[in-house]
Structures are given as structure tokens and as C-alpha cells.
Amino acid sequence: MDVSQYLEIFLDEAKEHLQNLNTQILELEADSENMDTINEIFRAAHSMKGMAGTMGYKRMQTLTHDMENVFSEVRNGNIKVQPELIDVLFQCLDALEEYTNNIQATADEGTNDNEPLIKLLGDILKAGGKVDAAPQTSKNGEPAQSAGGDKKWNDIVLDDSQIHVIKEAQKAGKKAYGLTVNVQESCILKAARAFLVFKAVEEKGEIIVSSPSAQDVEDEKFDKDFTLIVLTDAELDELIKLAEDVSEIESTIGAELVVEETKNYRPMDEPTASASSAAENAQTKTPAVMEEKAQAAPAAAKPSDKKPATGKPVVNRTVRVDIEKLDVLMNLVSELIIAKNSLVSASGQEQNTNSGFNEQVEYLESVTTNLHESVMKVRMVPIESVVNKFPRMIRDLSKTLNKKMELYMTGEETELDRTVVDEIGDPLMHLLRNSADHGLEDAELRVQRGKPPVGSIFLDAYQDGNNVVIEVRDDGNGIDVEAVKNKAIERGSITPEQAINMSEKEIINLLFLPSFSTAKKVTDVSGRGVGLDVVKSKIESLSGEVEVKSKLGEGSTWTIRLPLTLAIIQALMVVVGDEKYAISLGTIQAIEDILPTDIKLVENKEVINLRGTVIPLIRMNQLLDIDSTRDEEEGLIVVIVKKGDKMAGLVVDELLGQQEIVIKSLGAYIKQCKFISGATILGDGEVALILDANALL
Amino acid sequence: MDQLSIKNEVAKANEAGGHTEERFQFIVIRLGEEQYGIDIRYIDNIVRMQNITRVPKVPAYLKGVINLRGEVVPVVSIRLKMGLPADEYTRATRIIILKSEAVGNLGIVVDEVREVVTLTDSNIEKSAHEVKDNAASFINGIGKNGGELISLLDLNAITIEENA
């Protein structure tokens, strides 16, 4: 075993801790007296230190160690939380993040010692009065935890050779300790934790016995604690601390073992005893008699035990699953659905309808639908993991831009497909920065306009039918349509004549053109003209869409609409010519039968007037280069599709009905087809293409 | 540019193990009157002609997509791509599924699949792309199998999309 296999866990946890620290320090900034927050920060810093140490990342360990020291003092009330302290802490977090990123990229932490930061931390410590405040001091007040029953090393049966080894070592000046390590109940990878403890302890000494055996521990065949007997030069405190530095270790207790000569040393001239194993057991049962030093060593996790359960559960119970495995499962479900569809179509064909067969098909249908839903649910994660970093970002922006602003978030628990959540972070960040930089006005101007001096940015997420909507809203200046228009003319994106005929909305949409920025000066934050077009293309690549509404002087709202799932959808099957196509049900607004006489011409384009709304028609047979099989005089079938508030009527030849379809990619080889978003396999094995209604509008 | 994957490198190594000369296996196919060889390492599968779903607004040589065991695979007419007359589908027509790391699986339509031949290095004459004749730019060598000549198809040239 070597540590590298734990790298992934380490990275995951380091990121979790970093996120946690960010959140907590933000909270601390708002409420500098909150002991819960301080404890939480202390604990996270402590865990990170332990993890970094075990993995051999010394620089990271040093930095977290110093942070921990500062927090220890804060916790003891020796240092007051000042805004400067918060700034330094955030810088530390950035440095830690850099280490983590380096480790992720190269498995090495990099060579940045971050000495200025360490010095800053040291200065803070000195200013606080006490120079050296080892975190362990905070443990003094804790009650002795091991009140007796926990001393499991008493139960370990030592054989002769082991006793001999212990004695030899003790003669050589080494000490033998019994250690019982308790793993947190919520711990998922007990074996990994145990391994880290073994490794840490072995650095200081030699593990003679463990109970359960090392092999069993490695195979995770233990409940929540394991016991070691260690020979070492080091002090017991040191060992306990090493063990506790491993995260998710709840507590470690230990004591020195004294092997008493009289009771245990079996002289060589008593060979009979060794013959009877029972006798041997009886005798060796007692060898390790403790000198009751009872080193109480409450865990780093102790504060959390005391903290009353205030609201949120501390840890989500999760199992990390490789997304590839999920994809395999997903594919299997897809196959099942295809098989089901072919059964359905087979049952439709047979005239002598056997009711038992139909029942089975219906049963299969309900099973596959349920299975599909649950597999999809496994892939769903709350967007929390992405949006959590935004409060910190807004805080930093507020300082850089010298504007006062607050971020209000709702709906962090809204769930989206994992792949979407991974991708959505950057676009959202762009929009928030955009709101902070371009949207919100200076405090003075805000006051003049009768707004509160502190600007507000809102991030709201909610589910809406088959979509998830994420809105970024600010109460700032809004988009200056005239400025956008002038800029567009100046850049040559549109001609002045075009500009006159453009609606406000069309002009606002110009913002999504590549390298378009109206910011008067380029700042660090935005104004470089890369952004909105990237936002748009990113979201469209996720089959979503982005819209903006704005009112000059009152603020703007950016609305991102994303599909809940990407892999399996409900679709309407239609026929054009002699080909079958699928249209996602999510985009369909209505289906209308119209007469040829209902079609009017506007600007030489066919439109229909549907209950007061004028909707342009798209002849699918012309678009798809195929001859229509329908006699127009019989009337036309029009599928009304909608995207945002744009609508279009697709003229098709025939409707086949609704079906659950599995979306398959057309492969990298076929690139140019804009309005085909993929393909699906029908029950009869034929491939049908999926029309992307969004691209048609 | 696009490099075809060689997934059974091991097989090749084993094959080469016992011999001083490297040996390659080719599937011999017929297009019109001519015989062509396709390196067997690039072939995933050979399937019978089946219904191809047309994809609109793509070049003519791209015939459409088929369902290969639940995967959607694009099919190319190698005749049209090489500038030969369009395919006539017969009972002998087959679709050869090529595996390519760059673009995924890809099917090509051939008139007939004849046999598998093993050629050694000395039986293969590499040709450079000097000839600017359209069909010839898809050939990267000539193989001699007994008295017959087999044009060896350059699969990279086929899998590269012209107007990408």
C-alpha cells in the first residue's frame, strides 16, 4: 500500500474543507463572536493539516498549522477577529487552493512556501499576546474520556515472542503503548483512515500487535475502533496526536504498557505451560497490565459533539460513484427501454391480442420508467456545490470594485444532472461578475436614484416542469439599450439603418455576440469582451438557453433555463415524407390542424394567425429536402414549438404519437447538421433523428 | 491529423514475434471492378446492408446513420467519397465498421467482401501521395497477393471529413 491511492480522497476532502472554510470565514466576518463558527474553522484547519501531513505535503501542513494556531488563540479569546485577520485568512485559503490545484495537476504541492503569509500569521499571533499556542493546549479542559472500559489493549492476547520483544525494547529504553483509535461513525472509508493511522504511527515506532489484525483492518473488517500496541521512542501524546491528525478519527486513547516481570516473564524452565494452550491463554491474558496514566485524548471532533444540533446535518451521507459506472448503468437502462419499445410495437401489431401479454408489457413499462427515474436521480446533485463559492467571490469583488453589495441566494438545493452542474459554474460566475461590475452603480449614484446604497444581487434557482431555471438578478443600472446600439454600430455589427428597425430585445441580444463589451473601461473584473458569448455557447451546449430582461435604472435579470436530464426524454414522433423524426415534448406548445386557406403571407413568409398570435410556419419537408406525402387540401398538421417567447409552426405529414426516447449522439463525424440534435433507436431497430426545435427558431 | 486507433497492437506484436518479417492481415473488398485491402486492425465489424437513415444537409457521400447494436453509427459511401459512380446495393453489399479514436465508429459501404489475406512487408509497396488522381489519394500502398494486386486503402484519408 502506498499513499498515492488515497490522493483522490485527499483531494476531495481538501476541497470540501476549503469550501467549508470559505463559508465559515464569511460567516465569521458577519458575526465575529460566533463560537460555533470559530470551532468549525478550527476543526477544518486542523483536519486539513493532518491530511496534508499524512500525505507528505509539508508546505501545506505548515500553512494550515499556522492558521490553526491563530484560530486556537481566537477560540481562547486571546485574539479578536478583525477585518485584517479575515483578509489574511482568505489569502491563506487562496494559497491552500493553489496547493490543492497543484496536487491535482501534478501530485506535487509545488514550491511556493508562502512565507509572507506565514509571517503575517505569525505577526497576528504575536500581536495577540501569546507566541506559541499549540492547538493541543485547548484540550486541557476536556474531561478524561477513557474512564476504564475503553482500554481494549488490555484484551489483546500477547504471545511469548511478542512479550519478549516488548521487554527487549523496554530494556533498550523504548516504551510500549496501547492505543485505541475510534473512527467516526459517519466515516465511509474506514480502512483508508486506519491505514493512514498505521502509517502515521509507524513513522514514530513499531506496531507489534493490532486488533483486529492488520489484514482485517485493511479489509475493513472492524467495527469502529481498532487497537494497537506500539513500541516507540516518542511520547504518548505525540502518537495520539498523530493518529488524530488523520481526519474522521473521532478519538484516540492510549496508555503505557508495563509488562510486569513477576507475572509475565515465564522462565525457560517451565516448558509444560506451553503445551496447554488454555493455560497459555489464561496466563497471557494478563500480561499487559496498565500503568494507569490514562492519557485522555479527546478528539479534534470533540467540539462538534458538544455543539447542539442547530439545523443542518453535519455531513451528507454519500457514496462516491465513478460517473463511468453510472453511465454503464444508464446505458443498460437505455437498452431496456429500447427493448420495451420494441415489445410495445410488437404487441400493437398482433391482431389476436393476448391480454396477458399486454399486461406484462405494461408491467415492464412501469418497471423501466421507475428504473429510469431512479438512475436519473442518482445522477442528480444539488447545485449547492457550485454556488457555494459565490458569496466569497462577491465579497472579494466588493472589495476590488469598491462597491458595496450583497448576494442573496435561494434554491441551492435544486438538483441538476451531474454533468450539467459541473459545467454551469463558469457561466454563472460570468453573469455574477457582470452584474457586480456593469450592473450595480456606485453607492453615490444609488443614493441619488433613491436606492439603498448597498447593491443587491440575487441568485435564484428553481425547478419548472422539465427544466431548471437559474436567475441572476441585480437592482443596478440595467442595460442601456442606446449604448449597446451605438457600440454595435461603431463596431460594425449592425448598420444604423438596421438599428432603427431593431426591437429593444434584439439589441440586448447583441450583447451575446463574441467580444462585445460596453464597459467604458477595462477592469480586472470584466469588460474584456469575453464572457457573454461564452456564457451563451456554454449553456447552449448543455441544451439550455439564456435570456435577459432589463429595465434601465432598475436592474436586469438573466434567466438560464436548463433541461433536467440529458439522456432520455419524452418525444413526439412525427413523419415527414417517408422519414420519422422525434421532437422533444418539452418544446412543443400545441398541435393544430389548419386549412391551406388559414396560411397568410407576411413579408413573403408563410404565417398563421392562431388565436391572435402570428406564428411563422416552417415546412419541414422543404427544410429536410424531402417530398411531402400529404395532400395539402386535406389540411395541414402543425406542431407549434416554443422557445422563450418565440414560436414557430412546424408543418409535418403525420403524427405517430408520444414515446420515451433515448438520445444517442450522431458521432463526431457528422458535424454540420444544425437542427438535428441527435438520434434515437426505435422499437423496430430503425434510427430516427431528433429535431432540435430550438435551432429552428 | 486524425489517427486511427490500433487497438490490437498486442496481436500484431505476437504475430511479429516468431517471424523476422512483419506480417499484416488485410480484408479484401471489391468496389466496382477493383480490389482494395483494408488493414484488419482497423476493422471492428462487418455487417450486412441495412436500412440507412438519411441525415439532411450533409455531403452526399455521407449516407446517413445505422443502428449497430444500440449505437448510432454514421455510414459513408466510399464510392462517392472517391469520386466513383454511386453504389448499387446488391446481396453482396456490406457495411464495414471501422474503429477510429478521433471520430468514433464509422461504417463504409463496399460492394463485396472477398477474403482475408496475409501480406509480409516485402509484398507491400508503399506509395507516396504523388498522384493527384482523386481515387488514388485514398491509397497508401499496393499489395501483391500471388498474381493479384490489391490497392491498400488509406483509412485516415477516408475518416477525415472533407469540409470539417
- HEC letters along B53-110: ECCCCCCCCEEEEEEECCEEEEEEEHHHHCCCCCCCCCCCCEEEEECCCCCCCEEEEE
Query: Measured between alpha carbons, how far is A137 from A143 in angstroms, rounded to an integer?
Result: 13
Task: Kindly report the backbone phi and psi dihedral angles of residue A8, in degrees, each rounded to the nearest multiple of 5, phi listed first.
Answer: -60, -45
The CATH 1.20.120.160 portion of chain A extends over 3-139
Check if the beta carbon of residue A100 is closer than 8 Å to that of residue A16.
no
Put simply, the answer to whether B74 touches A672 (Cβ < 8 Å) is no
Judged against a pLDDT cut of 60, whether residue B105 lies above it is answered with: yes
- The pLDDT score that the predictor gives to residue A493 is 75
Confidence label for B43 from pLDDT (cuts 50, 70 and 90): very high
Q: Extract long-range pairs of A494-497: CB within 8 Å, 24+ residues apart.
A: none
CB-based contact A671:A659 (threshold 8 Å): no
**CB < 8 Å to B161, chain A:** 669, 671
- Position A672 scores a pLDDT of 64
Residue B141's pLDDT band (boundaries 50, 70, 90)?
Answer: confident
Nearest to B104 among A668, A679, A686 (CB): A668
Give the range among A56-65, A261-270, A487-496, B125-134 with minimum mean pLDDT.
A261-270
Spelled out in words, what is the top-level CATH class assigned to the domain A3-139?
A: mainly alpha
Taking a C-beta distance cutoff of 8 angstroms, is the pair A630, A654 a contact?
yes
Any idea which of A127-131, A225-229, A269-273 has the lowest mean pLDDT? A269-273
For residue A655, give the C-alpha cell: 403524427
Flag whether residue A343 sits within 8 Å of chain B, measured between CB atoms.
no
Residues 6+ apart with CB under 8 A from A402: none
> Is there a contact between A554 and A458 (Cβ–Cβ < 8 Å)?
no
Residue B64 with chain A: CB contacts under 8 Å: 687
Q: Using 50, 70 and 90 to split pLDDT, how confident is the model at A651? A: very high
Q: Given 3.40.50.10490, 1.20.1630.10, 3.30.565.10, 3.30.70.270, which CATH number is that of A384-563?
A: 3.30.565.10
Active site residue A46: yes
pLDDT the model gives residue A192: 74
So what's the pLDDT on residue B27? 93
Q: Which cell numbers hold the place of A117?
A: 503569509
Domain with CATH 1.10.287 in chain A: 323-382
Contact A213, A156 (CB under 8 A): no
Pick the CATH number of A568-696 from 3.40.50.720, 2.40.30.10, 3.30.70.270, 2.40.50.180: 2.40.50.180
| Residue the block writes with cell 504541492 | A109
Pairing mode of beta strands A613-619, A676-681? unpaired
C-alpha distances (whole Å) from A610 to each of A599, A640, A646 are 10, 10, 14
pLDDT band, very low/low/confident/very high, at B134 (cuts 50, 70, 90)? low
Q: Compute the distance between CA of residue A224 and CA of residue A207 in angstroms, rounded to an integer.
A: 19
pLDDT-derived band at A327 (thresholds 50, 70, 90) equals: confident
- Rounded to whole angstroms, the maximal C-alpha distance in chain A is 118
> For residue A463, what is the enclosing H or E element?
strand A455-464
- On whether any CB of chain B is under 8 Å from the CB of A695, the answer is no
Q: Is the pLDDT of residue A423 over 70?
A: yes
**A686 CB within 8 Å of a chain B CB:** yes
Check pLDDT > 60 for residue A310. no
Element housing A378 (H / E): helix A355-379
Task: Report the run of H or E that residue A458 belongs to, with start and end.
Answer: strand A455-464
User: Which residue of A lies nearest to B106 if distances are taken between CA atoms?
Assistant: A669
Residue A625 half-sphere exposure toward CB, CA atoms < 13 A: 8
Residue B93 has pLDDT above 90, yes or no: yes
Closest residue in A to B158 (Cα–Cα): A669
- Split at pLDDT 50, 70, 90, the class of A518 is low
- Searching chain A, which residue's CA lies closest to the CA of residue B71? A664
Three-state DSSP class for B21? coil
Q: A with B: how many residue pairs have Cβ under 8 Å apart?
A: 75
Mutate to test the interface with A, among B72, B75, B103 (most CBs of A within 10 A): B72
pLDDT in tens, A215-256: 777 666 677 777 777 777 777 777 777 777 777 777 777 777
Asked whether the predicted pLDDT for residue B102 surpasses 80, the reply is: no
Q: Which of A20, A39, A65, A68 is catalytic?
A: A68
A681·B67 Cβ contact <8 A: yes
What are the structural domains of chain B?
9-159 (2.40.50.180)
Is-catalytic flag, A434?
A: yes
- Cβ burial of A466 (10 Å; 0-12, 13-18, 19+) is middle
Q: Which regions of chain A carry the CATH code 3.30.70.1110?
A: 152-268+277-306
User: What pLDDT is recorded for position A318?
Assistant: 59
State the pLDDT confidence band at A458, using cuts at 50, 70 and 90: very high
The answer to whether residue A287 scores a pLDDT higher than 50 is no
CA distance B31 to B26: 15
- Per-residue pLDDT at A653: 93
Band of residue A156 on the pLDDT scale cut at 50, 70, 90: low
CATH number of A152-268+277-306: 3.30.70.1110
Query: According to the model, what pLDDT value does residue A166 have?
Result: 74
The phi, psi pair for A385, rounded to 5°, reads -60, -25
pLDDT at A292: 39
Architecture in CATH of A323-382:
Orthogonal Bundle (1.10)
- A578 in reach of chain B (CB within 8 A): no
Indicate the residue of B58, B76, B105 with minimum beta-carbon distance to A672. Answer: B58
Whether A355 shows a pLDDT value over 80: the answer reads: no
pLDDT surpasses 80 at A403: yes
